[in-house]
């Protein structure tokens, strides 16, 4: 099975979509940690913060952030980059995990949703707004999660590999299809298993 596309990601619950994005961000976090940008403690704080709030939501903590706060965290993480492409895309993966969270939180706080077409992180991707607000939230979350995976895979290709996250998707889909609530049950991130099928990359290469 290939990596899931946006339409396939939309089959997941919102917590599962966020979990999928954050797993990719976790995979490439070490690439950021070794960069010159990571020598700045503030940069590390915002990148780690983006991952942490996304994990918290997946695991059931809805008070981790409101939609606007989560989007601000995403933008801050996206700015923690330098000229090194590996560092830049690793930070973007974390930022996009937080953006995925921001959209998912819109289902819990519809009075303060992020802009569906806030293109600060996703480039020029434009999302058509359906009549159903929940459908829009799922569309936005799935699009951001897919972009998080793309950013992380760019980092991994720098090492000549493309780590598979298909098992993550299959597991999350199995969990999601058993639920009628689109927000979904909590997801234990650690229970999804290791981040790699084999040995992780040699990040110092």
Asked whether residue 100 is domain-assigned, the answer is yes
- DSSP 3-state assignment of 142? helix
Asked whether residue 36 is domain-assigned, the answer is yes
Asked whether residue 201 is domain-assigned, the answer is no
d(CA 155, CA 162): 9
Cα Rg, the chain, nearest whole Å: 16
Q: Over 60: is that where the pLDDT of 123 sits?
A: no
d(CA 62, CA 11): 21
The first and second tokens of residue 101, run together, are 């969270």
Asked whether residue 203 is domain-assigned, the answer is no
> 39 to each of 30, 43, 45, 124, how far by Cα in Å?
13, 8, 11, 31
The first and second tokens of residue 162, run together, are 């493309």
Q: What global pTM score does this model have?
A: 0.89
Which tens digits make up the pLDDT trace of 189-205? Answer: 999 998 887 788 888 76
**pLDDT of res. 114:** 56
CA angle 139, 141, 145 (to 5 degrees): 115
Identify the domain containing residue 149 by its residue range: 6-180+187-192
d(CA 138, CA 107): 9
d(CA 157, CA 151): 10
pLDDT band at 65 (very low <50, low <70, confident <90, very high): low
The secondary structure of residue 117, as a DSSP letter, is T
How many domains does the chain fold into?
A: 1
Asked whether residue 205 is domain-assigned, the answer is no
**pLDDT of res. 191:** 93
């Amino acid at each position: 099975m290939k990596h899931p596309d946006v339409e396939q990601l939309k089959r997941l619950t919102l917590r599962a979509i966020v979990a999928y994005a954050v797993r990719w961000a976790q995979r490439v976090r070490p690439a950021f940690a070794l960069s010159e940008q990571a020598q700045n403690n503030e940069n590390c704080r915002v990148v780690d913060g983006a991952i942490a709030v996304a994990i918290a939501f997946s695991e059931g903590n809805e008070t981790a952030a409101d939609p606007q706060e989560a989007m601000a965290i995403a933008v801050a993480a996206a700015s923690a980059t330098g000229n090194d492409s590996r560092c830049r895309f690793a930070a973007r993966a974390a930022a996009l995990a937080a953006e995925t969270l921001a959209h998912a939180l819109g289902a819990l706080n519809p009075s303060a949703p992020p802009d569906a077409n806030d293109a600060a992180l996703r480039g020029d991707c434009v999302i058509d707004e359906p009549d159903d607000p929940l459908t829009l939230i799922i569309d936005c979350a799935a699009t951001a999660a897919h972009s998080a995976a793309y950013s992380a895979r760019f980092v991994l290709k720098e090492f000549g590999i493309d780590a598979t996250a298909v098992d993550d998707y299959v597991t999350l889909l199995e969990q999601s299809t058993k639920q009628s609530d689109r927000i979904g049950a909590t997801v234990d991130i650690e229970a999804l298993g290791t981040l790699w099928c084999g040995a992780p990359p040699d990040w110092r290469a």
